[in-house]
Amino acid sequence: MKSNAEIHVVVFIMFFLLITCAPMTAFSAAQSSHHNHVALADHYENLAAEVQTKAQQQKEILKNKPRTSYFGRNGQHIKKRVSQRIRNYEKAAEIHLAKAADHRRIAQEQAKRDFFSKPGTGNAQIDKAKLRSNDSSSAEERTDFKESL
* pLDDT of 45 higher than 90: yes
- Other Cβ atoms less than 10 A from the Cβ of 86: the count is 18
C-alpha 88/C-alpha 84 separation (Å) is 6
* pLDDT of 145 higher than 70: no
Q: In the predicted model, what is the mean pLDDT of residues 54-83?
A: 79
Q: In the predicted model, what is the mean pLDDT of residues 32-45?
A: 83
pLDDT of residue 71: 61
Which amino acid is located at 95 in the chain? I
Nearest alpha-carbon partner for 48 in 86, 85, 96: 96
pLDDT of residue 61: 83
pLDDT of residue 82: 87
* pLDDT of 65 higher than 90: no
Extents of the domains making up the chain? 1-31, 33-116
Which pTM was predicted? 0.53
pLDDT of residue 142: 53
* pLDDT of 108 higher than 60: yes
